[in-house]
Structure 1
Amino acid sequence: MGGVLDNVDQRTNLVGENRLELLLFRLAGKQVYGINVFKVKEVLPCPTLNALPGRNRVVRGVAHIRGGTLSILDTSLAIGKASLGAIDHAFVIITEYNRTAQGFLVQGVDRIVNMNWSDIHPPPRGAGQAHYLTAVTEVDGELVEIIDVEKILAETAPINERIGEDVLGSGASEGGVKKHVLIVDDSVIARKQIQRVMQSLGVETTIRQDGREALDYLLDMVARGEKPAESLAMIISDIEMPEMDGYTFTAEVRNHPELKDLYILLHTSLSGVFNKAMVQKVGADNFLAKFSPNELAFQVNERIKAISGEDLIEETAE
């Protein structure tokens, strides 16, 4: 896998064109899985793992890599399958999600493929709620399953999803000003996390699971004679989504005369300084890395305060 993540600048150019590159890998069987290259920092043969007392059963151990210590998760166990077992010839995909780095143990790494988000689809509706997929696609006639890493991390390393008591003012719990926010995210876990913050602020929400669904929802509002920019305080959108990514969704909104004034906050687990440049390129109003309930609450509060003059949180909170 030497050089598999070279030319990152070239890959960055795909962003904003509804394209992505998937790193394909396998676990114990023939099934192929994928992960967005932009979330991958490094791929390397599995290093020596040290046991961690009291660890989650999914964590095979910790490894010392590049001067730091990372938890290494058995990806097969994490998605409800049998452990990978012997790892003498396994690989570790080091990723950065939600402001932290972690390693995912896999049996083998195949290659990188260039794809269009329109070829990435939500999991089949009959898959139920227990699966760990955020999307599926097909490469060379093979089904590729894209794992919901946010769900795995929520189960193995839960984060505090509540707004701090020093942030949430007494006025918010009494209802506050009722404003409507459109949430666009393909991860069930991420949608629930955002909804909890909105509920704490007394803000109503509408949910859509990808950019295409969200755009259709907005266009339907326009067709009914409604004005989305007046009905919605803001849109909180993920970037990585099947059918249409957040960058393309934002660009489509900005190019529509009836939608162009909508306030869009891009809210994503994708890391990297290029995100700020992309926010400007596609015309989003702001960017926030997942997931900090306090920071998200501040962003929403600032927007609502700007359009209504009402404060949903304590002004003195830091």
Structure 2
Amino acid sequence: MSQDYEILLESGTNELEIVEFEVQNNKYGINVIKVKEIIQPLPITFIPHAHEYIEGIIQLRGEVLPVVNMTKVLGLPTGENSENDKLIVTEFNKQKVVFHVQNVTRIHRISWEDIEKPSDMYQGGNSQVIGVIKIENEMILLLDFEKIIVDINPQSGIHVGQIKQLGKRERSSKRLIVAEDSPLLRKLIHDTLAEAGYDSVEFFENGKLALEYLHAAAEKTDIENEVQLLITDIEMPQMDGHHLTKRVKEHPQLSKLPVIIFSSLITDDLRHKGEGVGADAQVSKPEITELVKSIDRLVL
């Protein structure tokens, strides 16, 4: 790992690196920080009655890992495996999953500002695409790997019922701001926070919009009277959560605002990134109960 890469990881520069891969000659991308390694295909053991996306399981250095067939995920015609096939070993949401693709071509470093949000007209309500990247007259589709996993195993997602064990609560006097690009997750977070008593929550679909709102609020009044806490995802078009956190903590009027990073990318290997930009807490999706407990600790 180069020194430049370390600077990129640590500084909250609003940049990311993506691994470009191919499925049926179409180009897709995955955030480098989700990727543990890229390997040649291994023997895959078929699992009877598994989800249609699951090709089987492999054994990698003693670990048994599921293999997701990206051709089936993307609804493309299946064909014979080729000599360029690769297995992308990933870790997010506190689990390891292998994705079978047809080629891995290169790594790109880009800004979140250069990632366009997909249009509702062409992506549909069940799309796995979270961003469109234009590079050298080509388009790379950035995929929502968290949604792919939830589609396979719904129990791995956020569930309102997890909050019921906390009992009846009253938190309506506390106003929260949430930056989250996924419409599905915005609704799930809204419902679970409401169940936890936090029913005064405003959502923004990326860090840039959230920061603009906070700047405007800070100019009008003491921010502590307007907003009590910020929750942010990491991966968002326009401005990611690390850069948002850094900008908030560097701002003279906003610096005391507690920030919780709620992301699938909170792992032991990556937690230092949030600490480096000043996050007050970091919680891995889908641990919504831990998120609520962190909110309680910071605002009560």
Same fold (TM over 0.5): yes
Whole-angstrom CA distance in 2 between matches of 1:108 and 1:13: 29
**Counterpart residue identity of residue 237, structure 2:** P
- SS of match in other structure, 1:20: strand
Matches within 5 A, 1:91-240: 91-127=86-122, 128-158=124-154, 159=156, 161-164=159-162, 167-169=165-167, 171-172=168-169, 175-203=170-198, 204-223=200-219, 225-240=220-235
CA displacement 1:74-113 (0-9 Å, x = unmatched): 123223x125432353211111120000011111110111
Residues 26 and 107, structure 1, Cα contact 8 Å, conserved in 2: yes
Give the structure 2 partner of residue 251 of structure 1.
246
Give the structure 2 partner of residue 293 of structure 1.
288
Are 1:73 and 2:68 an aligned pair? yes
Are 1:40 and 2:43 an aligned pair? no
Q: 1:176 to 1:229 in 2, by over 3 A?
A: closer
Give the structure 2 partner of residue 241 of structure 1.
236
- SS of match in other structure, 1:287: strand
CA RMSD of aligned residues (A): 2.1
State the Cα distance separating 1:253 from its structure 2 match: 1.2
Misfit runs of 4+, over 4 Å: none
Give the structure 1 partner of residue 271 of structure 2.
276
Whole-angstrom CA distance in 2 between matches of 1:83 and 1:70: 25
Residues 27 and 84, structure 1, Cα contact 8 Å, conserved in 2: no
State the Cα distance separating 1:176 from its structure 2 match: 4.5
Count of equivalent residues: 293
Whole-angstrom CA distance in 2 between matches of 1:167 and 1:233: 24
CA displacement 1:275-315 (0-9 Å, x = unmatched): 3332332122111121112211211222232xxxxxxxxxx
CA displacement 1:237-260 (0-9 Å, x = unmatched): 011221111111111112222222
Residues 266 and 283, structure 2, Cα contact 8 Å, conserved in 1: no
State the Cα distance separating 1:13 from its structure 2 match: 2.1
CA displacement 1:151-202 (0-9 Å, x = unmatched): 1111111225235367321x22xx5444221111222333233223202112
Of 70-79 and 272-281, deviating more is: 272-281
**Counterpart residue identity of residue 139, structure 1:** I
- SS of match in other structure, 2:270: helix
Are 1:26 and 2:25 an aligned pair? no
Q: 1:189 to 1:48 in 2, by over 3 A?
A: farther
Whole-angstrom CA distance in 1 between matches of 2:184 and 2:259: 21
- SS of match in other structure, 1:262: coil
CA displacement 1:112-161 (0-9 Å, x = unmatched): 11112221222124334232111111121111110011111111112252
Whole-angstrom CA distance in 2 between matches of 1:163 and 1:216: 33
Residues 40 and 86, structure 2, Cα contact 8 Å, conserved in 1: yes
The runs of 5 or more residues in structure 1 that have no matched partner are 1-6, 306-318
CA displacement 1:193-222 (0-9 Å, x = unmatched): 322320211212111111111111212323
TM-score (structure 2 length as normaliser): 0.90
Whole-angstrom CA distance in 2 between matches of 1:187 and 1:94: 24
